[in-house]
Amino acid sequence: MLEVEDLTVYYYTSKGVVRAVEGVSFSISKREWITFVGESGSGKSTVAQAVIRLVPYPGKIQGGKILFNGKNILELNKKEMRKLRGREISMVFQDPMTSLDPLRKIGDQVVEAMTEHGVDEEEAKKRAIKLLKRVNIPEDRIDYYPHQLSGGQRQRVAIAIAAALEPSLIIADEPTTALDVIVQESIMELLQELKNSGTSIMFVTHDISLAFERSDRIAVMYAGKVCELGRSEELVSNPIHPYLKALLDSVPDVHSDKKVKAIPGNPPDLRNPPSGCRFHPRCPFASEICKKEEPELVELEKGHFVACHEVV
């Protein structure tokens, strides 16, 4: 359904060009949940924003193709893009206050999300009530303003708006990072329900455990590139890329007594990324070739892609 080829996004800051995302390719099929995992600065959010062409200034999509049902999104004009957003692809942000209007009632905002795309007012109102009910916002809250709701409820409203027109893809960029675990769980469940009813989910998080629980596939990003991509159980039980291995070793788990190990060094400065494999300065297995040549993302087993010289 969605195919991204060779996506490259740079940020033109006053302190130099940040090569935030470089040569990222992946696809999402119908009714699939794919999660992008990475640390801050890995480019995971930028990929998500690029798919809906909302990369913030001074970022620019430098190259690549984003094919949505065969059409290249990057070639659409503004009007076509507006039509696509919300109707075909919609987005949920980390902070729901960035997308909700603080001065308007939540019910009206859900209604507007539909009327803007040509649904008539009466119909939209009926559907808004249903939608809010579906995301567990009681009917009497429909006239509330965003600030009267808790963080979790606001995020539910944001999801209701995103789901209003039954888009084929919902992009969720760290929607639960600011929330507590119990609320997080309920938001995840909501997304799962949307997925079960036919929507594809592109989820972005820094928490690999969270990614593992609900997603079909996981893409692990490091320094602007996808280093490993595959089915989520496969990735967690059989990690191949040294970065993913190190990442899994560095996070504690509630139900295991394993000791954690930090990854030595720091993520690179993407204004001037390391030559060859971007992980090589921190990689315990790096050899000469890693410093010189960039590894390509290769399919090792069916559906399991890795970008590493040492394992190919």
Would you tell me which residues interact with other proteins (CB under 8 A)?
A: 39-40, 150, 152-153, 180-185, 189, 206-210, 212-213, 236, 246-248, 250-257, 260-263, 266-267
Please say whether the beta carbons of 100 and 158 come within 8 A: yes
Closest distance between other proteins and the C-beta of residue 266, in Å?
Answer: 7
Closest distance between other proteins and the C-beta of residue 298, in Å?
Answer: 24
Closest distance between other proteins and the C-beta of residue 242, in Å?
Answer: 13
113: amino acid identity, one letter: A
Please say which residue, 24 or 37, places its beta carbon nearer to other proteins: 37
Please say which residue, 77 or 256, places its beta carbon nearer to other proteins: 256
* Cα separations in angstroms, 13 against 19, 37, 60: 11, 25, 11
Closest distance between other proteins and the C-beta of residue 103, in Å?
Answer: 23
Please say which residue, 42 or 90, places its beta carbon nearer to other proteins: 42
Please say which residue, 28 or 208, places its beta carbon nearer to other proteins: 208
Closest CA relative to residue 43, chosen from 283, 262, 311, 227 = 227
Please say which residue, 233 or 296, places its beta carbon nearer to other proteins: 233
Torsion of CA 71, 119, 98, 218, to 10 degrees: -40
Closest distance between other proteins and the C-beta of residue 253, in Å?
Answer: 5
Please say whether the beta carbons of 305 and 299 come within 8 A: yes
CB < 8 Å & 24+ apart, contacts of 147-151: 147/102, 149/106, 150/183, 151/96, 151/178, 151/179, 151/183
Query: Could you say which DSSP state residue 216 is in?
Result: S
Please say which residue, 94 or 184, places its beta carbon nearer to other proteins: 184
CB atoms closer than 10 angstroms to residue 271: 13
Closest distance between other proteins and the C-beta of residue 68, in Å?
Answer: 30
Q: How far apart are CA 196 and CA 175, in angstroms?
A: 19
Please say which residue, 145 or 212, places its beta carbon nearer to other proteins: 212
Query: Could you say which DSSP state residue 140 is in?
Result: G
Q: How far apart are CA 141 and CA 149, in angstroms?
A: 9
Closest distance between other proteins and the C-beta of residue 47, in Å?
Answer: 18
